[in-house]
Homo-oligomer: A and B are copies of this chain.
Amino acid sequence: MSVSNARIIESLERAGVRPSGARVHVLKYLESNRNHPTADTLFRGLKDVLPTLSRASVYNTVTALESAGLIRRLNIDGGEARYDAHMPDHGHFRCEACGAVRDFDTDLGALDLSALDGYTVGKRDLFVFGKCPDCQKK
């Protein structure tokens, strides 16, 4: 396990979120699995360590973590939301063949947002769609 509970608890507390069991394990899962899981993937993936976890708690938890700025919610298509604990700016690529979502490095700061003069600018999402190398072979 590359992420220690102590560090998870520390970042929760620093963000002003009480480190309940659900929060610790959801954040830990997201920091250990960079594959942008859905709420359902989190729910099923955490059953072992949190047998009494409910779906509602998964939603409560990701909402709390997002509000605290610890994770981001990705609405990359019309289906299930995905969650990402990797906070530095980056883009998301989604393969239209296999559905996988992966991060890619790019400088969103280079974008020209001068057309938004007078607007407060907060978070940015860059989604790129296409076909991943594996799916191109098929």
Residues in chain A within 8 A of chain B (CB atoms): 73, 75-78, 81, 91, 93, 96, 104-107, 110-113, 115-116, 118-133, 136
Inter-chain contacts of A131 with B (CB < 8 A):
119-120, 122
Could you tell me the distance between the alpha carbons of A77 and B66 in the complex, rounded to whole angstroms?
14
Residue in B78, B93, B120, B124 whose beta carbon sits within 8 Å of that of A136 in the complex: B120
Contact B115 A106 (CB under 8 A): yes
Contact A123 B129 (CB under 8 A): yes
Contact B96 A122 (CB under 8 A): yes
Question: A121 — nearest CB in chain B belongs to which residue?
Answer: B130
Task: Add 19 more A-B contacts to A120-B130, A122-B131, A125-B125 (CB < 8 A).
Answer: A73-B78, A75-B76, A78-B81, A91-B113, A104-B115, A106-B111, A106-B112, A111-B111, A111-B126, A116-B130, A120-B131, A120-B136, A121-B128, A122-B128, A124-B127, A124-B128, A125-B126, A126-B126, A127-B127
A–B complex contacts, Cβ < 8 Å, 25 sampled? A75-B76, A75-B77, A78-B81, A91-B111, A91-B113, A91-B115, A93-B116, A96-B122, A104-B116, A106-B112, A106-B115, A110-B110, A110-B111, A110-B112, A111-B126, A113-B128, A116-B130, A121-B130, A122-B128, A124-B126, A124-B127, A124-B128, A125-B126, A125-B129, A126-B126
